[in-house]
Structure 1
Amino acid sequence: MRIVWILLAAFVALLSTPAAAERVAVQSPAGTLSDAAIVLARQTRTSIVITDPALARRHVKALRGQMETDDAIRRLARMADARAVSVGPSAWRIEAGEKRPRKAAQPRTRKPPPAVAPSEAAPPPPPPPPVEILVVASKRSARLEEFAGQVSMLDGDDLEFGGIGGTEKIAEQVATVSSTYLGSGRNKLFIRGIADSSFTGPTQATVGQYLGDLRLSYNSPDPDLRLSDLSRVEVLEGPQGTLYGAGSLGGIIRLVPNEPELGLFDASGMVGGSVTQHGQPGADLNAMLNMPLAGDSAALRLVVDAATQGGYIDKPLLGRNDVNRTDILGGRAIARLEFAPGWTADLIALGQSTRAADSQYADRFGPPLTRAARVREGAEADYRQGQFIISGAFGAVQFRTSTGIAWHDLEERYDATAPDGAPRLFTQRNDTRMIANETRLWQPLGSRFGWLAGISLTENRTQLNRSLETDELSASATGVLNEVSEFTLYGEANARLFDGLIATAGARYTRSQLGGAGEDVPLAVAIAGREITASRDETAFLPSFSLLAEVLPETSLYLRYQEGFRPGGLAIEGNFVRRFRNDRAATFEFGLRHGRPGRGPFDLTASIAHTRWRDIQADFIDAFGLPSTANIGDGRVWTASISGSVELAPALRVNGGFTYNDSAIDQPDAAFLTRTMQVPNIARYAGRAGVDYRRTISGNLELTAKGWASYIGKSRLGLGPELGELQGDYFDSGLVVRVGRDSLGISLGITNIADVEGNRFALGTPFAVGREHITPLQPRTIRLGIDASF
């Protein structure tokens, strides 16, 4: 241990040594030159003055990468057809001028500025205006202060801090986001109190997940993509049917990747190793490369992620320990071509492979972290997606069209051994293919009016197959094929009724064509079910309305009404395939927002929402002991949430959030009258608290620490006595400390600090649901990592 501390001290000493040619990590946003200059001045620790108001309003692209200070400021000026003039050792002035060719990295020779007597010194510039925050998930690039709704904006750098993770990092920071815990690549996500079931079946997700403008999946689980090299993640709460259509009953989660940077070579990497108490070690690696192509008109950005997560569950009947190791390998490539001023074409390819060697649940009443099973379970998930995007502008009107195709293949294995029976394995395969296009035009809200109009086409095909296997034989069980084709028109308009009051109204019309068939169905049953599996059409009209009033400086109140829906489909029950209907949710929401998240003395958001949910699609256990899907009745959900942060000192900020959910199926279908009528998987209470500490040690050497703690209350696994077991009621926590410069640093992190076992999820296998199993938290894990950028 002493050697480790000696090495750590030597590394810190190395970091504190000034480099001969120091490069700075630059991340200035797209927007006005004034806003970008404010951010760049903060990052480079310089003063940048723009004296011409018209020049300050010019639009510039985002600027990101590792570069020297003078080069970064000149790049920014050139993007505005201006020039940067040095007026002191750390002071610059940007003034109008012709665009100049790119200079070499070394500063150009210039005469030192004349000495200025103290009495003649120019007065300091006025304080800069706040940097504009855009809610891009609004599809109108709405400013945060103009958006009526609850939104969480998670910075990409914060999500990478302490190591690359998946969706669990979003749930750690947003109290209203929850998940099942079957394992990476198999989970279902929920926002607020809108949750349907614990299983991966034919129902569409209640949360829409997007990369850019296109959804990641339709009715397959969360692919759990690595959250690396992202600009941000946006979480919109509540139904988003008008803009996002089917599958957004609870809200949406939108991943926004960093775009390729034209004319810039940039690279970064991160590597880490971890040890898990009561388990095996793990490791992770991430690398990013941005390189120009064809001069300054094209660029390519590549990202690679790899991780192995050590197991911690033992299966003594198999003579195996730490069986649930998970290996993840993924990557993303984005190529960008600027084929005309202000017009770009992007080609995106991404993929991820997840391999879980065995299950991650344990016996409820057995030894800790132990499962008495005689079969090997686990899962394999493969996700691939390609996108082609063209975007530009016709004057003040913006245009964007996105076309993509996605494949998501998931194979899950469950212990189906009967009491005192021979070992038996149940295998379920869920293969999904989706093709989608979205095209829209919009004009952001100006002094009076803004609008948006779009069209969307989606085709999704999901094939669900099942089989039962023993050492002697393998038999196919009934499966199902679901096909959906959707055509959608949508639009939204907003207007400033008068200063401080914005009204927004919109609507979406969707026509869905549904089809499918049974798979591996006995002949007599198949003949009887032909009418059930025949194609049919469904239509949905989803209106929305909101009012947003600024009642005090930086303080707004809003009232919002929004609807969402999911189309119907085909489900399996025993040897039969039968239909289930579409469901629909309507939400009234009242909210308050003060300040800007993470900035200023304090910020606060709060909301209370009531949702009426009709013909709820949910899973239950059928007479054969297998999960099936049906419309279980009508229900209501009350949700209240509050979140915010306070700056206790210039280097210290605390943040937190709390959510309360009260849900019930108050008008159950006759077939479910005897079952527990509580919406599953949603805790009545959940909350989190965090701390963010930053301190300069010396020069550009900085200490950063982020810690958090959360509580997840009690919830139920599902409907009825078979799925009525309690879960939740546990605390979790984590802390990461980093020492270094922007270009090089070392971090030490710990999760589950108290080594809590807990019970995240009460499902291990559907053949013994809720009676014997718990899904414990990953035991206390310590990670040591190094990150660098070039």
Structure 2
Amino acid sequence: MGRKAELLIVTALAIATPAHAADRQTISIAPSRLGEAVVALGRQTGVSVGMSDQSLAGIATPAVKGRLSVDAALKRLLRGSGARAMMIDASTWRIVRARPVATAQAPARSPAAPLPAQPVAEIIVTASKRYTPLPRYAGMVEAIDANLFSSGEASGGTATLLARVASLSSTHAGNGRNKLFIRAIADSGVAGPTQATTGQYLGDMRLNYAAPDPDLKLYDVGRVEILEGPQGTLYGAGSLGGIIRIMPNAPNLGEFGGQVSAGLSATQHGAPGGDLSATINLPIMPEKIALRVVGYGVQEGGYIDDVSRDLNDVNRTRTYGGRAALRFAPDENWTVDLNGVYQHIHGRDAQYATQSLDRLQRASSVAQPYFSDYLLGNIRVERQWDSLRFVSSTGFVHHELAESYDATQQDGPSALFRQRNDIDIFSTENRLVRDLDNGLGWILGASYLQSQSKLRRSLTSYGTAMFQPQVIPGVPMIGRGLPATATGVRNKVKEATLFGEASFEPVRGLIATVGGRLTNSRLSGEALDPIAALSFADIARAEAQADRSETIFLPSFALLTDAIPDVTLYARYQQGFRPGGLAVDDQRVRRFQNDRISTAEIGFRKGVAGRDAIAISANLAYTDWRNIQADVTDRIGLPTTANIGDGRIYTAEGRIVVRAMQRLTLDASIIYNDSRLTQPAQFLRALSFEGRSLDLPNVANLGGRLAFDYRTVMGNGMRLHLSGSARYVGKSQLGVGPILGRTQGNYVDTSLSASVTRGPVQISLSLANLLDSDGNRFSLGTPFDLHTDYYTPLRPRTIRIGMDFAF
């Protein structure tokens, strides 16, 4: 028998022979998630470790190294996690939740002061679809844990993320109507039929496609991760700028509990508001089946006065909705989740004002209400075999967004333009993942997505004259409040995809990641309710051009080294794309084509925020954007989509987080963008004078944020939490060209909050827009009037007092 064969037999016997609980062995487990950590422990010691609740598998765990017993190793892994290990026999252990529950996924969530004796686990980037420790992730990522959200911030939805992440920006048309942008990858501020540049996900389920941000409230959310893009390999079309992944708390299989929160707010120069939420976790069959339900309602008081109609505070917004999750875990290897979401947003009127009038005033002829209805259903199945994991996620989204704009012309009767976008999305993804130690491993998957959007439009005149001048050519002005149909479009996309990615270590300290995504897209489109003046031959030609099949391959490469202690250096290249479709331009149906983006970046990271006294990260990126799709306006002022040319973007960003003392953390971040439309399309070249390139719209050239967070324990078991921030948003332009090229931004938004917690009760006080700044967030009012000095002001200084009760 050869020496190699002998060595294999000895190794197999060592693995097959379980260690006694008191035996000390050499154990080396990298920072990871609990599910992966216990698998590594089992491989190294031969013991079997199970879990009573699969939601425990996602808990972040620290590194464990040295000659230790199994008992000691498990205690180190579980310290501060809210879980404990039970010894079944000499070779079998079971991890269960400790009482009282203290993890981020506990149903009774109340902020707790940090305990100096507890080690801080590593940040795990789960949006990578592999459990990748942050030091071994090649790219910029923001991870916001739930204990940083107050109930007041949860009620703010996406606005809370905008206040915390310097690289994230948005239009400001109103809740549920906004387009989100990451790292200057912005097409325009106008809402048309094109696909979003930022992908949004609830767990593994896609939230949007050819629609704005649904603006789900962040109640009972465990974590939010923002990955800068493109993220074409793992997330496919529509992730040009990056992705936002919201991870709600999973049902707890072992504990009953919940939380109730309520708040009242008062806005200077405006109307009062309030918010109410409730969460309950109910184990139906302990350790097997549990139900978790959250419901909420939020009213944001208006602060815009309409002097023409003699109305105050017209822009009130009401939101109500909820989520339900049912978890079934037949054993420690299987987890099945059923999830449902519903949310309704109703805005009584638009939120823009006119600069030539007094602050927070405008003059409109008609109200411009809007609403958003959002419904989601999803089933997720996960199966675990040691380091191998299978995940299947399938779901359906129905999203309705109805908007209206004042279409009144000078010396004409009052008129209102309405558009309604109905979006249906079916998606399924099935992937096989192998997570090895310290971020190595691979993923292989297949997905299918079908999205259909129907954009319908109408124009209503309130005049009584028999003959009225037309606002939209070919659309009659019927008058007396009767709507006339304008041309709309339907776009349908079917995407079948294979994707894969692998990380390996060719030499010690150097991690290489290679991936790719092969997508076949079948596209089709048609005109809806075309007006009589349109040529049916032109419509048929455009529809024929839109009906096509395309196959696209998106590669990705990354190199990372952590050979320097506590320092990560990386370089990354990745691509993304969006499929084309149909749009209505000057009452003609036209095709717009695919666009494609490529980004090369380098960066470094030293330390980990929340773990080290100082954590620094920085990134430089160059983006090449070809055949850019953009929602623009036609000659009438209606939103449409066109390919506006080629562009390039330079981005530099950095962040430093300093733990000045045990209780105080300081956080500063900055981002600089230089974006240009270097090769404008033919219809835009007249706007590019003397060979100068045009700025890409809607993203500030400079942005930054300063924040502090202070937590301490006072007498009688009370905990005090103070936080504050100031965010600067630099100058940007609404769109491309002189008409849409108006300046916006250049303001500072500030906030301050305090809370006191004792036992299950928390009292909080917060101030938004502390300095009562009057900045211009968005320069678009109604697209039927692009010459008036419209602007969208910051919400005036707002104070909120709230109470939370956990049980």
For this structure pair, what is the TM-score category when the shorter chain's length is used for normalisation? 0.7 to 0.9
SS of aligned partner of 2:437: coil
Does structure 2 retain, via aligned residues, the 8 Å contact 1:160–1:228? no
The answer for the alignment partner of 1:235 in structure 2 is 226
User: Does residue 469 in structure 1 map to residue 460 in structure 2?
Assistant: yes
Structure 2 distance, partners of 1:399, 1:320, is 57
Structure 2 distance, partners of 1:49, 1:633, is 55
Percent of aligned positions that are identical: 45
- CA distance 1:76–1:578, shift in 2 (3 Å): same
Any residues of structure 2 matched to 1:360-509 within 5 Å, and which? Answer: 360-446=351-437, 450-471=441-462, 472=480, 473-509=482-518
The answer for the alignment partner of 1:510 in structure 2 is 519
Does structure 1 retain, via aligned residues, the 8 Å contact 2:120–2:610? no
Relative to the length of structure 2, the TM-score reads: 0.85
SS of aligned partner of 2:770: coil
User: Match for 2:495: what amino acid?
Assistant: E
User: Does residue 619 in structure 1 map to residue 631 in structure 2?
Assistant: yes
SS of aligned partner of 1:634: strand
User: Does residue 528 in structure 1 map to residue 538 in structure 2?
Assistant: yes
- CA distance 1:312–1:656, shift in 2 (3 Å): same
SS of aligned partner of 1:170: helix
The answer for the alignment partner of 2:783 in structure 1 is 766
SS of aligned partner of 1:171: helix
> What do residues 646-671 of structure 1 show as CA deviations (whole Å, max 9, x unaligned)?
11122111101100000001111111
Query: Which one is further off, 535-544 or 767-776?
Result: 767-776
> What do residues 158-190 of structure 1 show as CA deviations (whole Å, max 9, x unaligned)?
133544221011111110000000000000000
Structure 1 distance, partners of 2:92, 2:331, is 22
1:743 is displaced (CA, Å) by: 2.0
User: Does residue 328 in structure 1 map to residue 319 in structure 2?
Assistant: yes
Gaps of 5+ in 1: 1-27, 64-68, 83-94, 106-125
SS of aligned partner of 1:722: coil
The answer for the alignment partner of 1:569 in structure 2 is 581
The answer for the alignment partner of 1:646 in structure 2 is 658
Match of 1:345 among 297, 318, 336: 336
Q: How many residues align?
A: 714
Does structure 2 retain, via aligned residues, the 8 Å contact 1:409–1:430? yes
> What do residues 717-746 of structure 1 show as CA deviations (whole Å, max 9, x unaligned)?
001122011000111000110011352110
Any residues of structure 2 matched to 1:650-689 within 5 Å, and which? Answer: 650-675=662-687, 677-689=694-706
Does structure 2 retain, via aligned residues, the 8 Å contact 1:333–1:349? yes
> What do residues 594-634 of structure 1 show as CA deviations (whole Å, max 9, x unaligned)?
11123221101110000000000012221222222111110
Structure 2 distance, partners of 1:516, 1:788, is 51
SS of aligned partner of 1:492: strand
Does structure 2 retain, via aligned residues, the 8 Å contact 1:525–1:575? no
The answer for the alignment partner of 1:193 in structure 2 is 184
The answer for the alignment partner of 2:761 in structure 1 is 744
Structure 1 distance, partners of 2:94, 2:139, is 41
Does structure 2 retain, via aligned residues, the 8 Å contact 1:278–1:312? yes
User: Does residue 298 in structure 1 map to residue 289 in structure 2?
Assistant: yes
- CA distance 1:525–1:657, shift in 2 (3 Å): same
1:675 is displaced (CA, Å) by: 2.8
The answer for the alignment partner of 1:54 in structure 2 is 70
User: Match for 2:582: what amino acid?
Assistant: L
1:394 is displaced (CA, Å) by: 2.8
1:215 is displaced (CA, Å) by: 1.0
Does structure 1 retain, via aligned residues, the 8 Å contact 2:85–2:95? no
CA RMSD of aligned residues (A): 2.8
The answer for the alignment partner of 2:599 in structure 1 is 587
1:142 is displaced (CA, Å) by: 1.1
> What do residues 415-445 of structure 1 show as CA deviations (whole Å, max 9, x unaligned)?
1110121111010101100000000001113
User: Match for 1:488: what amino acid?
Assistant: T
Structure 2 distance, partners of 1:206, 1:60, is 43
The answer for the alignment partner of 1:548 in structure 2 is 560
- CA distance 1:314–1:104, shift in 2 (3 Å): closer
Does structure 1 retain, via aligned residues, the 8 Å contact 2:136–2:438? no
- CA distance 1:60–1:288, shift in 2 (3 Å): farther
Structure 1 distance, partners of 2:91, 2:658, is 40
Any residues of structure 2 matched to 1:263-282 within 5 Å, and which? Answer: 263-282=254-273
User: Does residue 783 in structure 1 map to residue 792 in structure 2?
Assistant: no
SS of aligned partner of 2:703: strand
Does structure 2 retain, via aligned residues, the 8 Å contact 1:134–1:142? yes
1:31 is displaced (CA, Å) by: 5.8
- CA distance 1:393–1:768, shift in 2 (3 Å): same
Structure 1 distance, partners of 2:775, 2:668, is 22
Relative to the length of structure 1, the TM-score reads: 0.86
- CA distance 1:588–1:702, shift in 2 (3 Å): same
User: Match for 2:776: what amino acid?
Assistant: N
Match of 1:260 among 238, 241, 251: 251
User: Match for 1:439: what amino acid?
Assistant: N
SS of aligned partner of 1:169: helix
- CA distance 1:185–1:81, shift in 2 (3 Å): farther
Structure 2 distance, partners of 1:584, 1:101, is 48
- CA distance 1:178–1:315, shift in 2 (3 Å): same
- CA distance 1:754–1:58, shift in 2 (3 Å): same
- CA distance 1:426–1:596, shift in 2 (3 Å): same
SS of aligned partner of 1:694: strand
Gaps of 5+ in 2: 1-32, 42-50, 101-115, 463-479, 689-693
User: Match for 2:705: what amino acid?
Assistant: R
Does structure 2 retain, via aligned residues, the 8 Å contact 1:137–1:234? yes
Structure 2 distance, partners of 1:62, 1:269, is 29
